[in-house]
């Protein structure tokens, strides 16, 4: 029987962000008969690893994972993979944010914490990325990371959510563009508002809607304005807008935007339909 432990700072029960939704989709698509557990990053200890060394650990967001635990996993032949949602080799999880706040380029990989994280990536049996651009940046920055251990997964959706979007994608649209209302620096909400005003686009700011209400709102909206201030590896908000037939006003920081699978609404839907199979075939194939 295959045995897995999902490790993450937060799960969907804690926060319904894009990373947590992808993690949940992976958990729910686990092959039948597999045994699994989930644990928050800050609660994982070296004693737990010793007592459960037979599990394969799938580490998602790990900002609160203790350095001694990371090093123990590197040194003690613990089998683990990483699903990398952003840029955790940087203390701000964004090189652009690092530059904006400290007025200097990110040099985190040269510091102690960065070296620990570099080793953690390097010893992983597999590192899954959200986009080609993100993966290439990691391969350039993390010298111990081997390309043969890396693969692009992209954001992952539950089949029911893909079916729901397929059912509402033909909804009649109004003339409004949606803007994500977010306090996160990287999402660039104020820049999006400025863009809408400069281009005389009617817009609505959305925030805090339950997930399926947001999808319905998107299905009846003309388009989406999303201009992140730094690299956003594979934003679900943009993917959902594509699947729902919205006009996209996005910038170069949407890192998956030029990948072939994202070219059309149809190619996007086809690509996303098999991401869980791609993931689990690596472990169960």
In tens digits, the chain (285 residues) has pLDDT values of 589 999 999 999 999 889 999 999 999 999 988 899 999 999 999 999 999 999 999 999 999 999 999 999 999 889 999 999 999 999 999 999 999 999 999 999 999 999 999 999 999 999 999 999 999 999 999 999 999 999 999 999 999 999 999 999 999 999 999 999 998 899 999 999 999 999 999 999 999 999 999 999 999 999 999 999 999 999 999 999 999 999 999 999 999 999 999 999 999 999 999 999 999 999 986
Do 103 and 166 lie in a common domain? no
| Largest pairwise CA distance in the chain | 61
pTM, to two decimals: 0.95
Do 90 and 213 lie in a common domain? no
Do 122 and 197 lie in a common domain? no
How many domains does one find in the chain?
Answer: 2
Do 113 and 196 lie in a common domain? no
User: Range of 191's domain?
Assistant: 159-273
Do 123 and 178 lie in a common domain? no
Do 95 and 30 lie in a common domain? yes
Do 278 and 177 lie in a common domain? no
Do 79 and 96 lie in a common domain? yes
Do 106 and 147 lie in a common domain? yes
Pairing of the two strands 126-129 and 80-83: parallel
Do 142 and 10 lie in a common domain? yes
């Amino acid at each position: 029987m295959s045995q897995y432990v999902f490790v993450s700072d937060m799960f969907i029960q804690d926060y319904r962000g894009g990373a947590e939704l992808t993690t949940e989709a992976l958990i729910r698509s686990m092959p039948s008969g597999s045994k699994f557990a989930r644990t928050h990053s800050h609660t994982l200890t070296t004693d737990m690893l010793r007592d459960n060394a037979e599990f394969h650990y799938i580490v998602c967001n790990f900002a609160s994972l203790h350095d001694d635990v990371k090093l123990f996993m590197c040194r003690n032949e613990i089998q683990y993979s990483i699903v990398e949602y952003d840029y955790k080799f940087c203390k701000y999880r964004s090189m652009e944010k690092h530059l904006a706040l400290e007025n200097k380029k990110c040099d985190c990989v040269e510091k102690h914490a960065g070296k620990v994280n570099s080793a953690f990536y390097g010893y992983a049996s597999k590192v899954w990325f959200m986009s080609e651009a993100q993966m290439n940046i990691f391969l350039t920055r993390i010298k111990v990371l081997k390309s043969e251990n890396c693969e692009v997964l992209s954001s992952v959706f539950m089949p029911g959510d893909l079916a729901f979007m397929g059912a509402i994608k033909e909804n009649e649209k109004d003339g409004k563009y949606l803007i994500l209302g977010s306090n996160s620096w990287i999402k660039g909400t104020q820049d999006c508002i400025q863009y809408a005003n400069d281009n005389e686009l009617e817009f609505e700011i959305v925030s805090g809607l339950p997930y399926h209400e947001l999808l319905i709102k998107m299905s009846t909206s003309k388009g989406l304005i999303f201009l992140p201030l730094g690299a956003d590896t594979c934003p679900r908000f943009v993917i959902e807008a594509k699947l729902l037939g919205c006009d996209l006003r996005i910038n170069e920081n949407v890192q998956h935007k030029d990948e072939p699978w994202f070219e059309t609404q149809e190619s996007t839907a086809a690509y996303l339909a098999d991401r869980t199979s791609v993931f689990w075939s690596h472990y169960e194939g």
